[in-house]
Amino acid sequence: MIKYFMENYSTVQQPRNGSHPLWVKVIVRVSNVLDVDILRYTMSSVLLLNQSWYDHRLQWNRTEYPYSAITVPWNSVWTPSFVIREAHVVEWKDSSPQVKIHSNGWMYYCLPLRIDSNCNFELFHYPEDLSECLLSFFSLLDSELMFDVSVENEIENVKHEYHVTRVTIQVSAGFRIPGFTMKLKIKHTPVKTVLSLVVPSFAVLVADMFGFLLPILDNERISFKITLLLGYMVFHSSLVDALPGASACNPLLIYLFNSILLLLFISMIETLIVTRLASEDLPLWMRWRIWLCFGLGRGQSAQREAKEKVTETENREENTNRRRHRQTFANKVDRLFFIIYLAICVLFHSAFVGVWLSKDCFSEPPPRKP
């Protein structure tokens, strides 16, 4: 019977429906979404395309051939051919799919696919990002087709870092090339990213603020600040590598991490300056500045420098007073800077939260030919 039907059958020629387009019913079942890679802007999805259409050339009389349906290899009959615009790798999960032919001429074709495709993730609010990924199916070889498409979300795995919240379908009506577009709305679960990237960054900044409790004169604060800065610089490199880059709408976290690095650098510079102010061997211009601020010995110092004969007791007392005033001046500068530094941190993070909650960024569409 199959040989009889295939004698004058052409697998290239599309079935006709008179002067009307051939209707193809497609049920898209999304079974899984794998390997969402935001660094490369790609994702992998597993789909099942259940297709059905009518081919009058392959119907038979059941009184002559007592079979209600037969199954043939997919390449022995005409099947709709699709091109997926966003895909760069399409893998057939079944190497030899079958087409089921009913006696009334209705064809049923089940095609499981694994598709690696591009996706323009909107990562401005990463890691709380919500993106829409498209899979556009077009039939380039068969122009006289109409699609009746429905979609079913059969994803049961919700333990991935990204999971699909909604799947919709839209038929490309009014285009010269028939097809349909499937839209997957993908949401990121931010717990892992927050715990591994955001929380350590804030912990480093809080530790830097508590570093102001360390004394100025010994080298503990300088060692602590430098160690903190160098450690965060190493951590910062891994942060930048973990975040995606884009021509526009870069993640806000990139600006947050860079700002924290800048704040740590400013804090370290301030510690070096204050430690220098409190040290004994200050330059002459710094000594003059300290003496001027505290009203100490402006005329006395000139007289003592003019006089070469000064007793050892007077020199010791003078050095002790200078050291005390230097430390007092350095402590006041340190306290003033801490207040300013704390205010800057609070203002910056308040502004960051405000931008996060109020601003959205969407990439511009690619240029089109007029």
Which tens digits make up the pLDDT trace of 249-268?
A: 788 888 888 999 999 999 99
Q: How many CA atoms lie within 13 A of 113 on its CB side?
A: 24
pLDDT reported for residue 351: 92
pLDDT reported for residue 308: 47
More confident residue, 282 or 149: 149
| Long-range Cβ contacts of 250-259 (<8 Å, 24+ apart) | 250/123, 250/124, 251/123, 251/124, 251/125, 251/126, 252/124, 252/125, 252/126, 252/352, 252/355, 252/356, 253/126, 253/127, 253/197, 253/198, 255/352, 256/198, 256/201, 256/352, 257/197, 257/201, 259/348, 259/352
- Per-residue confidence band for 278, with pLDDT thresholds at 50, 70 and 90: confident
Are both 153 and 199 inside the same structural domain?
no
pLDDT reported for residue 302: 45
**For 177, which DSSP code?**
S
- Per-residue confidence band for 288, with pLDDT thresholds at 50, 70 and 90: very low
Q: What is the mean pLDDT of the chain?
A: 80
Of the residues 153, 172, 189, the one at which a domain ends: 189
Of the residues 189, 220, 250, the one at which a domain ends: 189
pLDDT tens for each residue of 97-130 = 889 999 888 999 999 999 999 988 888 888 888 8
Are both 206 and 154 inside the same structural domain?
no
**365 is a domain residue:** no
From 28-32, 176-180, 306-310, 342-346, the region with the lowest mean pLDDT = 306-310
Are both 42 and 147 inside the same structural domain?
yes
Are both 125 and 157 inside the same structural domain?
yes
**263 is a domain residue:** yes
From 102-116, 217-231, 239-253, 297-311, the region with the lowest mean pLDDT = 297-311
Are both 147 and 281 inside the same structural domain?
no
Q: Going by DSSP bridges, is the β-strand pair 87-92/106-118 parallel, antiparallel, or unpaired?
A: antiparallel
Are both 343 and 354 inside the same structural domain?
yes
Question: Residue 8: which CATH number?
Answer: 2.70.170.10
Taking the C-alpha atoms of residue 96 and residue 215, their distance in angstroms, rounded to an integer, is 76
Are both 181 and 59 inside the same structural domain?
yes
More confident residue, 318 or 343: 343
Are both 306 and 223 inside the same structural domain?
yes
- Per-residue confidence band for 284, with pLDDT thresholds at 50, 70 and 90: very low
**364 is a domain residue:** no
From 69-83, 198-212, 305-319, the region with the lowest mean pLDDT = 305-319
CB 297 within 8 A of CB 314: no
More confident residue, 294 or 92: 92
Are both 181 and 232 inside the same structural domain?
no
More confident residue, 25 or 301: 25
**370 is a domain residue:** no
pLDDT reported for residue 52: 93
pLDDT reported for residue 142: 66
| Coil/strand/helix, residue 192 | helix
Are both 140 and 236 inside the same structural domain?
no
Of the residues 166, 189, 212, the one at which a domain ends: 189
Measured N-to-C along each axis, helices 252-278 and 312-358 cross at an angle, to the nearest 10 degrees, of: 170
pLDDT reported for residue 81: 85
CB 162 within 8 A of CB 107: no
Dmax (CA) of the chain = 135
Taking the C-alpha atoms of residue 135 and residue 180, their distance in angstroms, rounded to an integer, is 9
Residue 51 has pLDDT above 80, yes or no: yes
Are both 184 and 208 inside the same structural domain?
no
Classify the phi-psi angles of 187: left when phi > 0, otherwise alpha if psi is within -120 to 50, otherwise beta: beta
**For 36, which DSSP code?**
E
**For 367, which DSSP code?**
P
Are both 139 and 276 inside the same structural domain?
no
**363 is a domain residue:** no
pLDDT reported for residue 93: 80
pLDDT reported for residue 306: 46
Domain count, the chain: 2
Rg (CA), the chain: 37
**246 is a domain residue:** yes
Residue 286 has pLDDT above 90, yes or no: no
User: Which residue segment(s) compose the domain that 18 sits in?
Assistant: 2-189
pLDDT reported for residue 294: 45
**290 is a domain residue:** yes
**176 is a domain residue:** yes
CB 37 within 8 A of CB 43: yes
Residue 232 has pLDDT above 80, yes or no: yes
